[in-house]
Amino acid sequence: MKILMAEFRVSVLFVCMGNICRSPTAEGVFRKYVSDAGLDADIQTDSAGTHAYHSGEPADRRAHAAALRRGFSLEGICARRVTEEDFDTFDYILAMDQDNLMVLQERAPNELRGKVRLFLEFAESRRENEVPDPYYGGAAGFERVLDLVEEASQGLLETLRKKI
């Protein structure tokens, strides 16, 4: 039986461009943090891309391998494009970088633009504002993405705990 979004107290959508590297990594990491905290019934997570380049494809194999090495699974996550309904459905729509933030803000209805933010706003150190795209680089890029995503996920979870 699929759980309907309305049953959750808070819903989070992670967004990058193609939804095969950064946003599925954020979804997988955050999903594990939520589960470890015993909040599966309270917090819904998903990911999407601003573009449909990879719709229906699984997470990039390099992202998946890097996540597995740290104990996170990206299994079952398939790329999809952000829909108009997502702006109504999700409480937090978190972009990985400024470019995708701008695309989301342009697509969002005026009254829902406040839901759209940069994911790294939740990182405690806030040394960086963007999660860099590792797609055209090597393994070190995927490790850097995980470092940033883990830190921001911890901050996001703490923020959401206060709202639940």
**From 16, 31, 46, 86, the catalytic residue:** 16
Q: Is 31 a catalytic residue?
A: no
Q: Is 69 a catalytic residue?
A: no
| Structure tokens belonging to residue 12 | 């989070």
| Structure tokens belonging to residue 156 | 């996001």
Q: Is 161 a catalytic residue?
A: no
3-state class (DSSP) for residue 109: coil
Report the run of H or E that residue 94 belongs to, with start and end: strand 92-95
- Crossing angle for the helix pair 22-36 and 139-161, nearest 10 degrees? 40
| Structure tokens belonging to residue 9 | 């107290």
**From 31, 69, 133, 144, the catalytic residue:** 133
3-state class (DSSP) for residue 160: helix
**From 21, 22, 80, 97, the catalytic residue:** 22
Nearest CA-CA partner of 113 in 90, 79, 81: 90
3-state class (DSSP) for residue 10: strand
Residues taking part in catalysis: 16, 22, 133
